[in-house]
Structure formats: C-alpha cells, structure tokens
C-alpha cells in the first residue's frame, strides 16, 4: 500500500508509522550485527520510497526533528565541561583546529578542480567541516563506550560544528555580498559582522536559557526533566524565530549547564530516558528524506567530495595528534570517527537555498552534492564510527567500577611542595576544584585529611601514599591522583620519597566500600610495573592509559562482574 497524501495520514499516525519502521530496522540491525542507526536509516529510506513516497515526513514532523537535534546538541555541549576537558584541552583544540582546517582546504581545492568556481569551493569546504553529533552520540550510547577517546571525540565533534557554522556564515556573507558590493573592505567587514552575530547571539541566548534552567531548578517545585525539556524548546524555538542557528544555541546551552555548577551539570542526565526513542525517530525520519536518486545526478563530484572530506579529517587528525604527542590510539581513531556527516550539513543547505543573493543554480548544485554525500554517510558512516569506538578499546566501559573516580581529569601532574603538608593542601584544593566543592566543603575535607595524616603517615611504602578523609554524606567515594617526579618526604616506614599520592574522600555510609577501594589501590601500586610507569607518566592521559591498561584491570574491576561472581553466576 502506498500513502499518497498527508491528508490520509495525520501527524500522529505518521509518527506511529515512523516508530514502527524504526523499531523494525533496529531489530533487523541487531540480527545482522550492524549499527542500529544504519538499520533505522535504511528502514526510513524504504518507508519513504515504497510506503509514503509523496509525503514529506521530515517537514510534517519538523518540530520533533528540531527538538531531537536540540537535545543532542545540549548533550554534546555538556561534554565541553572545562572540569572534564581541562587536562585534555590542548589535545582537543589542537586536533579540532587542524582537522577542520585540513578538511576545508582539501575539499575546497577538490571542488574547485571540478567546478572552477571559488564560491562553490569555499562554501562546500566550510560545510565539509561539520560532523554528525547525533550519530556519534547515539553510537557511544549503543556501545556503552567511555574513556579519553570518547571524551576527545565528543569534544572535537562539538568544536567542529562550532567552526563549521562560523566559517559557513563568514563565507556565505562574502559570496552573497560579492553580487551586491564591489569594495573588498565592505565584504570582509560584512562577513565578520554576520558571523559574529551568529556566534554572539547563540552564546547569549544559550546562556540566558541556561540561567532559566538554573533558576527554575532552584526555585520551582517541578521535576528537572520538564524544566530541561522546556529549555530546549525555548533555545530551538527562539533561535529559529530570530534567525540564529538552533543547533549552535542548544550547544551553548549544554556548555553553560556543563560548566556552571555540579547541580546544573546533573540536569544533563535527566533527559537520558528520552534519548533512545528520540534517536529512533530522528534517524528513521532522516532515512525518509534521503536523496538516493541524487547520487547518480551528482556523479563524480559526490565521490570526490566524500574522498576529499575523509582525507581532510584523517590527515588533520593524525597530524594534530602526532604534533601534540597524543596517544596514537586516540588520534588514529578520531580520524575515522569523524567521517559521518548529517544533520548540521542538512541545516546549512536549507539556509543556503533560502539565500536570495546567491547566483541561480549555485545552491542547487551544492545541495545536490552535499545531500547525496549525506545519504552515503547516513548509511555507511555509523560503521566507521562504531569501528573507531571498538578499536579504541573503550566500548563496554560505561559501567560502574570499583575505583570509578580515577579519570583523566582527576589526575594532577608534577605535584610539588616543601613537605607532605603542603602537598596534601594542594591535593585537597585540586579535589575541591574538580568536584566543585563549596568553600565550606573544601575546608572540611582538608581538615579531615590533615587530621588523619597527623595520626599516622598514609605512606604505604614503595613510593606511594593514600591520604584519605571522611565527609558526613555524599554520592559515593571520590578521589584524585597526584604524581610527583621529584618525590615528597611522607616519613614512610621504608624511608622512600613518595611519587604517587591517591587522595580519597569517603562518605560515612560507604565505609565497607572504602575498605575495598583501599585494598584495590594498595594492590595496584604494589605492582612494580604499574608503579614505575605511573611515576614516569608524560601527562594525565598517559597516566590514565596505565590505570585502564590490562595490567591494572584485576585491581579495578567492574562491580557487576564481581557481584555476579559472588552470586555464583
């Protein structure tokens, strides 16, 4: 049966059809062991081609798609929390800048070779920078991935889309005004003004919406879920109304919530219950709008664009990672993980086609090529990103572990002071910073740690110490790791200076877990290979790689595995 008109299928029934097709695609994908996203996109494409070929499902359900993209952008923006990426900032920014620049240059040069048009080349080069936050985030959720690679990939994706929107706004202003103005100074000034308006407007609106969330959560007796949903609707709706990019505004809303406070950061988790059904609807809906016939129409230029973009992402990521001495495991997989391209690129094509200043046919050509490339990327792209996640060895790690707190951002390198008391104060200050403690909480933690140290040294020998303190209540055991290259005198029984300091803070109700964590840490640093490698770690990421390595795995196990073993399963 073919449905020929939207009049015969109201939006709610259309949504039901979309959900059913997406669920079927997900089940089929699991049977043949391919990414669920690919199954949803293919199911949507079949639905659009055979069942509803004459219905523009994407337009009929545009509010749902806009909300889904807003939610995804907020989630990705939240991963640009300075607390999380502080130790990785150089790596993230370096890779993002170089791969974005390489992609824009290589794609622009390739397109110019085929079209002999500077305007088309520059516009397509800027669009090529965009990556697919929805695909990336959904695959990370699907594979339960967690680690420094995942953090790097998500942060680079967020920066990519910021760079893309800004460069596209700049180039579009120049290309459009070439027809209208003759002075280069006017062109450049106008382009900078337009791009600046987009960026500043998105930042201001995103932050104002974030203030609304923060105020409402603190004063209104309502669940956080409803407040955050309302915030996303405000950011996307207001952006569209005043001519800003909804994705960029939502991304800055996520950045605000992720950086403002621990409480606002927690609000980002309230929408987790919506993610899976929204992803299913979003990707199936995207599948109905795929332009399979445009692949043949665009011809060799589509292939050239896809190859040039993949080369740009790969060369830029690998070059940036190698120059910054990033772990090869990270930069080689980031190069592959950035290949997918979808929602942001489609949104920019819509803006392009609505610009009346562009020469006739230019927007049509660019739209045809980019949409054809998106068609390929929506179907094949998830395979590359999922492959990158598996190759990074971080899949299946988004589960509770015994020593959950030893992440990259919780590691302080090159700790130094005149004595152990100075070091402990620095460690407590670092703890308060990364866990966003209030001044009173920080003061109490430092007092508890110093009081325990006065009773007896917490040095355990072999160049390690485990200072610890207590707090009345909390979510669980938290801690930080400090590494000193010169060594600190902790008055250890073996007389050796301490190079490794693992500060842990335990709520009173977690006393039993405290003993297990202490035992695990002692066993870990008793391993000579782990201890020596940690003491010689180059940076926080290097130290984290050692803690997450195979040698340390027996000391930092997944909690559900141990519980299953204890239950005889």
Residues labelled as active-site residues: 468
Measure the CA angle with vertex 392, ends 390 and 393; round to 5°.
70
Both tokens assigned to 520 = 């695990």
Q: What is the DSSP string of 137-178?
A: HHHHHHHT--SHHHHHHHHHHHHHHHHHHHHHHHHHHHHHHH
Q: How far apart are the first and last CA of the chain?
A: 50
DSSP β-bridge partners for residue 482: 412, 501
Distance CA 156, CA 142 (A): 20
Both tokens assigned to 179 = 């027809």
Both tokens assigned to 562 = 């141990």
| CA distance readout (Å), 128 to 123, 197, 354 | 9, 22, 19
Q: Which of 209, 172, 197 is nearest to 187 (CA)?
A: 172
CB count in 10 Å sphere of residue 60? 19
Residue matched to tokens 């109700």: 509
Helix (H) / strand (E) element for 19: namely helix 11-32
Residue matched to tokens 């055991």: 477
Distance CA 134, CA 278 (A): 10
Distance CA 466, CA 316 (A): 41
CB count in 10 Å sphere of residue 117? 17
Both tokens assigned to 229 = 């949903």
> Helices 89-115 & 148-178, crossing angle to 10 degrees?
40
Q: Which of 138, 149, 135, 144 is nearest to 317 (CA)?
A: 149
For residues 514-525, b (16+ Cβ closer than 10 Å) or e, as one string? beebbebbbebb
Q: Which of 485, 501, 508 is nearest to 426 (CA)?
A: 501
Both tokens assigned to 66 = 């806009």
Both tokens assigned to 215 = 């105020």
Q: Can you tell me whether residue 485 is helix, strand or coil?
A: strand
Both tokens assigned to 129 = 């920078």
Which residues lie closer than 8 Å to 407 by C-beta, 6 or more apart?
A: 544
Kindly give the residue spans of alpha helices, DSSP state H, lying in 33-147. 36-46, 57-60, 62-78, 82-85, 89-115, 118-128, 133-143
Distance CA 176, CA 171 (A): 8
For residues 416-444, b (16+ Cβ closer than 10 Å) or e, as one string? eeeebeebbebbbebbbebbebeeebbeb
Distance CA 242, CA 235 (A): 11
């Amino acid at each position: 049966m073919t449905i020929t008109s939207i009049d015969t299928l109201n939006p709610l029934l259309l949504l039901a059809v979309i959900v059913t097709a997406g669920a079927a695609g997900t089940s089929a994908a699991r049977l043949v062991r391919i990414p669920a996203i690919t199954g949803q996109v293919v199911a949507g494409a079949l639905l659009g081609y055979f069942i509803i070929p004459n219905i523009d499902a994407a337009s009929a359900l545009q509010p749902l798609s806009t909300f889904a993209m807003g939610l995804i952008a907020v989630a990705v923006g939240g991963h640009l929390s300075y607390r999380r990426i502080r130790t990785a900032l150089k790596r993230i920014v370096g890779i993002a800048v170089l791969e974005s620049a390489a992609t824009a240059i290589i794609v622009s040069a390739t397109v110019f070779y085929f079209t002999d048009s500077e305007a088309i080349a520059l516009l397509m080069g800027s669009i090529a920078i965009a990556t697919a936050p929805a695909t990336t985030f959904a695959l990370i959720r699907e594979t339960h991935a967690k680690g420094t690679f995942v953090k790097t990939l998500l942060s680079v994706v967020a920066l990519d889309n910021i760079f893309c929107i800004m460069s596209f706004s700049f180039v579009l202003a120049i290309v459009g005004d070439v027809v209208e103005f003759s002075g280069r100074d006017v062109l450049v000034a106008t382009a900078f003004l337009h791009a600046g308006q987009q960026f500043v407007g998105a930042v201001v609106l995103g932050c104002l919406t974030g203030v609304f969330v923060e105020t409402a959560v603190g004063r209104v007796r309502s669940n956080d879920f409803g407040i955050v949903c309302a915030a996303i609707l405000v950011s996307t709706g207001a952006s569209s109304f005043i001519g800003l990019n909804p994705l960029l505004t939502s991304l800055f809303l996520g950045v605000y919530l992720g950086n403002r406070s621990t409480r606002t950061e927690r609000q980002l988790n309230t929408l987790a219950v919506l993610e899976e059904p929204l992803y299913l609807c979003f990707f199936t809906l995207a599948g109905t709008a795929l332009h399979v016939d445009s692949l043949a129409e665009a011809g060799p230029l589509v292939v050239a664009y896809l190859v040039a973009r993949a080369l740009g992402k790969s060369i830029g990521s690998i070059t940036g990672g190698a120059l910054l001495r990033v772990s090869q495991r990270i930069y080689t997989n980031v190069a592959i993980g950035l290949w997918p391209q979808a929602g942001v690129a489609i949104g920019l094509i819509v803006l392009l086609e609505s610009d009346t200043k562009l020469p006739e046919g230019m927007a049509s050509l660019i739209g045809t090529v980019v949409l054809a490339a998106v068609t390929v990327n929506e179907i094949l792209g998830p395979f590359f990103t999922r492959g990158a996640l598996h190759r990074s060895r971080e899949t299946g790690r988004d589960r509770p572990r015994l020593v959950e707190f030893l992440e990259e951002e919780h590691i302080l390198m090159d700790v130094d002071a005149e004595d152990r008391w100075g070091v402990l104060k620095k460690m407590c200050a670092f703890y308060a910073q990364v866990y966003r403690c209030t001044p009173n909480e920080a003061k109490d933690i430092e007092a508890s740690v110093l009081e325990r140290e006065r009773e007896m040294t917490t040095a355990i020998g072999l160049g390690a110490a485990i200072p610890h303190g207590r707090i009345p209540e909390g979510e669980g055991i938290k801690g930080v790791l400090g590494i000193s290259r010169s060594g600190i005198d902790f008055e250890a029984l073996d007389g050796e200076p301490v190079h490794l300091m693992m500060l842990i803070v335990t709520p009173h109700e977690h006393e039993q877990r405290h003993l297990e964590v202490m035992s695990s840490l002692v066993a870990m640093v008793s391993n000579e290979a782990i201890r020596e490698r940690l003491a010689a770690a180059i940076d926080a990421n290097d130290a984290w790689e050692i803690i997450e390595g195979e040698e340390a795995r027996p000391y930092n196990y997944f909690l559900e595995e141990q519980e299953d073993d204890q239950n005889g399963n």
